[in-house]
Amino acid sequence: MSDQNAPSAEDLQRLIEAERIARAEAEAKTRELYEANLSLQMMSDTLAARVDELEGERARVMHVGRTDALTGLLNRGAFHSGLTEKLSASHRFGTAVGLYLIDLDGFKEVNDTLGHEAGDLILQEVGVRLLESARGGDLVARLGGDEFAVIAEMAADGSEKTQLADRLLATLMKPMRVMGRALSPGASIGVALYPNHAADAGELQRFADMALYRAKNAGRGQHSMFDEALRLEGEHRRRLEADLRLAAGRGEIVPWFQPVVDANSGRVVGVESLARWNHPREGLIFPDKFIPVAEELDIIGEIDASVFEQACAIAGKWVEEGLIASMACNVSPRELVDVNFADNLIQRIDKTGFPPKALVVEITETFLLQDMDLARSHIERLATRGVRVALDDFGIGYSNLRALMQLPISTVKIDRSLTQDIGVDERMTALVRLLAQTTRALGLSMIAEGVEDEAHAIQLRAIGCHRMQGYWFARPMPGEQMDAYLRKASDAFQSRPEPRRNVA
């Protein structure tokens, strides 16, 4: 029995063979698994590398998105988010945040004379110096152009504020070598503190900006700290803005008139209409105080239109009665950039019934040179209705005679800055004489502005300038007064047997 149960040699052979096969199969599986593992490992390595690569890319993009390409400082966007973060940190920790707005003095001039390359080198150097002077944790940004900012966290009483301003200013006032030249552009700095001065980020920036403006006006190379006086000024300005928005609608902005006199005949030939604001609390406000504000608030169009229509209604009668030949009105450059300016003005003239041929539109050379094609199209469109254009304030900008003379203007008004030294400064006298000859040769008329005394008027007449405007003849005055003035001047002129020889 036992013999029968014992495995035969053949059986053993089969078993061994089966086991060998099983083992081989297992080995094969193991190998397969190992290889699968290996390739999985490789895939995972590749993926990890790719993830690293993408992370790097993301950081680079984030950095570029937050960095000013020229200086490597924070850009405007990063400045805003940085400021928000600093303010909320200051809120949590009970610290203060100083905002230092920095503007280079005379940078534009350097850029214009030495070129953009030199300008860029200066901006880079300024970036380096600001980073060196700032403390760890301060944020340094370039906001654009030659404007920089430093955001500095400090003790709640802000006691370090002046020290840092001194240091920033000192580093920027040091001369720098740019393209082999020693330059000292210098800078002005305005500072405001949160929460000591301002309640939020917007206010902080506005206040620092007001302080910067004061530093610039105080003669540059200075820093200025926001204070109570600036706060009052800011509040006053805000009230004025609110009032100005309603002023035209309330009829508070009215035209005044100043005569233009022909010094040869003594006759009043025309008037210039000038806007005045009769403020209910503050009294008379001059245009240099409210026109720039109106331009900023973008309500200048509405104001100009209202003053223009009133002026047309008043002066239209004087033209009709032959008291004057023309009325000049000033137009804001803000309106001139509108392609429809000429059409709108013509519509307005038609609405008032003022004779277009008696209207002179005064435009400053700054606008004329800014967009010659648009200026030309406005002037030509106005000319189709007989409206003339005068070049105002001639001589205070970068007068480009060649360009200006190509435009179909009718009159050139020489600014007071050129005429005030007539007869005193020989070179200025020669220049105005030349201008008088040139404009006459071109068939243009010339008006001298700012004629303040008789000697002045006689000198101007002697060099060939006959039309004048200025305090010597009359100051600007309200409509009723101008009406009386014109009637008196006309009576005096008509009762005179001969044309006047003297200017007075």
Interface residues with Mg ion (CB under 5 A) are 330, 362, 392
In the DSSP assignment, the letter for residue 444 is -
Cβ proximity to Mg ion: between 241 and 452 the closer is 452
Q: How far is Cα 429 from Cα 268, in angstroms, rounded to an integer?
A: 25
Least Cβ distance, residue 476 to Mg ion (angstroms) = 11
Cβ proximity to Mg ion: between 198 and 307 the closer is 307
Q: Which of 406, 472, 416, 418 is nearest to 444 (CA)?
A: 406
Helix (H, G, I), strand (E, B) or coil at 404: helix
Cβ proximity to Mg ion: between 73 and 432 the closer is 432
Least Cβ distance, residue 311 to Mg ion (angstroms) = 13
Q: Which amino acid is at 247?
A: A
Helix (H, G, I), strand (E, B) or coil at 75: coil
Least Cβ distance, residue 272 to Mg ion (angstroms) = 6
Least Cβ distance, residue 382 to Mg ion (angstroms) = 16
Structure token pair of residue 412: 């050139």
Q: How far is Cα 257 from Cα 254, in angstroms, rounded to an integer?
A: 10
Least Cβ distance, residue 334 to Mg ion (angstroms) = 15
Cβ proximity to Mg ion: between 204 and 360 the closer is 360
**Residue with tokens 């104001």, as numbered in its chain:** 303
Least Cβ distance, residue 168 to Mg ion (angstroms) = 42
Q: How far is Cα 325 from Cα 493, in angstroms, rounded to an integer?
A: 15
Q: Which amino acid is at 487?
A: R
Cβ proximity to Mg ion: between 291 and 349 the closer is 291
Pairing relation of β-strands 147-154 and 139-144? antiparallel
Total residue count of the chain as it appears in this document: 504
Q: How far is Cα 176 from Cα 164, in angstroms, rounded to an integer?
A: 21
Least Cβ distance, residue 328 to Mg ion (angstroms) = 7
Q: How far is CA 210 from CA 110, 185, 226, 232, 439, in A?
A: 25, 21, 7, 11, 43
Beta partners for residue 140, in sequence order: 150
Helices (H), ranges, 321-450:
333-336, 341-352, 365-370, 372-383, 401-405, 416-419, 426-441
Least Cβ distance, residue 235 to Mg ion (angstroms) = 32
Cβ proximity to Mg ion: between 165 and 465 the closer is 465
Cβ proximity to Mg ion: between 224 and 258 the closer is 258
Cβ proximity to Mg ion: between 122 and 389 the closer is 389
